[in-house]
Amino acid sequence: MKSLLIIILLAVAANYFFATPPSTKITDSFPADTLKEIQPENYYVLENQLITTILSRYHYKKFEVDDSLSSIIFNSYIN
């Protein structure tokens, strides 16, 4: 039990003494966020209108459920 405690203390001490400080510090001249800011493109507006039109018209398309449709769906499910 004592040897385990000594090994843990040696590992913590070695980590403390051999750890290197970070080479670069974040300052005002080197901002923390270096990712490119995303700006919307002009064609995004057109894409948005197209997607919302398609979804609003065809997402909830009304079907008449009858025997022919149910047989097609059942055969597709089985295959």
Alpha helices in 1-79 (DSSP H): 2-18, 43-58, 67-78
pLDDT for 59-77, tens place per residue? 776 778 888 888 998 999 9
**Which pLDDT band, with edges at 50, 70 and 90, does 78 fall under?**
very high
Residue 37: strand, helix, or coil: coil
Answering whether pTM is above 0.75, one says no
Pairwise CA distance, residues 55 & 16, whole Å: 59
Domain residue spans of the chain = 40-79
